[in-house]
């Protein structure tokens, strides 16, 4: 019997990196998508943000790091940050660097893993995906695939298609409003009260739900 392959969902921005091809060579089934947060989704509960060491330092300086960490920890139960590269550029002092890493682990519940290069990052991603999907029996749920999902899973997947919504926030939303219909009719003020949904996401959700469908923006339907 052919061994089942772990599936890895990769954000379209990572399509230019070598990691996708390395993962394919290792036997993973790789699919590109526009992810609401992070760079790689390895299971319904596990998302990975990848930063090269210079990017990690830059994100501390410009303040992006902690907002990204908050999004990861809000959306996924097991968020992971991979820091790739052999050495830091020392644009940030060592105490500040250690302070940032400590905050990510203690305040945002991120697991942090250091890798030397793209090959080692791919090796780590493959190992986590394989353990989650094949050992822990947490298959990756990809929208659009034909599987026998339970009614609860189907409802959650509909909600996950909303902008900025991952598995964890989708559960929060459907738990709050009980039905997909009530959720779709909810006003911005009601959406904002849900954990993980702020004013910006509430506005984006309402915008998507109320705008007219533009066929010219949907090339996949063209004959």
Same domain, 112 and 161: no
Same domain, 46 and 17: yes
pTM of this prediction? 0.65
Place of tokens 């509960």: 45
In a domain, 171, yes or no: yes
Q: Beta 29-33 vs 40-43: how paired, if at all?
A: unpaired
Which residues make beta-bridge pairs with 32?
A: 10
In a domain, 140, yes or no: no
The more confident residue out of 219 and 193 is 193
Number of domains comprising the chain: 2
Same domain, 50 and 94: yes
Which of 33-37, 127-131, 134-138 has the highest mean predicted lDDT (pLDDT)?
A: 127-131
Is the CB of residue 79 less than 8 Å from the CB of residue 113? no
In a domain, 142, yes or no: no
Q: How confident is the model over 2-36, as pLDDT tens digits?
A: 567 889 999 888 777 789 999 999 999 898 887 87
In a domain, 18, yes or no: yes
In a domain, 124, yes or no: yes
Q: Beta 7-11 vs 40-43: how paired, if at all?
A: antiparallel
Same domain, 180 and 86: no
Same domain, 107 and 176: no
Q: How confident is the model over 149-192, as pLDDT tens digits?
A: 567 877 887 888 788 887 788 888 989 999 989 999 999 999 99
CA distance 122 to 21: 9
Is the CB of residue 183 less than 8 Å from the CB of residue 162? no
Q: Based on the number of CB atoms within 10 Å of its own CB, is 62 exposed (0-12), middle (13-18) or buried (19 or more)?
A: exposed
Domain encompassing residue 196: 151-213
């Amino acid at each position: 019997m052919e061994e089942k392959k772990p599936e890895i969902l990769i954000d379209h921005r990572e399509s230019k990196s070598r990691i996708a091809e390395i993962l394919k060579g290792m036997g993973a089934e790789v699919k590109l998508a526009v992810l609401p947060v992070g760079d790689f989704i390895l299971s319904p509960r596990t998302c990975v943000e990848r930063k090269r060491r210079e990017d990690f330092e830059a994100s501390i300086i410009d303040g992006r790091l902690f907002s990204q960490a908050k999004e990861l920890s809000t959306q996924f139960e097991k968020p992971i940050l991979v820091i790739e590269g052999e050495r830091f550029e020392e644009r940030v002092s060592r105490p500040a660097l250690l302070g940032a890493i400590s905050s990510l682990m203690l305040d945002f519940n991120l697991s942090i893993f250091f890798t030397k290069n793209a090959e080692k990052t791919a090796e780590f991603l493959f190992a986590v995906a394989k353990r989650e999907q094949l050992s822990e029996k947490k298959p990756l749920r990809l929208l659009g695939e034909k599987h026998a999902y339970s009614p609860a899973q189907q409802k959650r997947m509909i909600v996950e298609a909303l902008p900025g919504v991952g598995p964890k926030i989708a559960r929060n939303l459907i738990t709050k409003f009980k039905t997909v219909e009530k959720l779709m009719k909810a006003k911005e003020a009601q959406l904002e009260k849900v954990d993980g949904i702020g004013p910006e996401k509430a506005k984006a959700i309402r915008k998507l739900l109320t705008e007219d469908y533009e066929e010219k923006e949907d090339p996949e339907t063209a004959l």
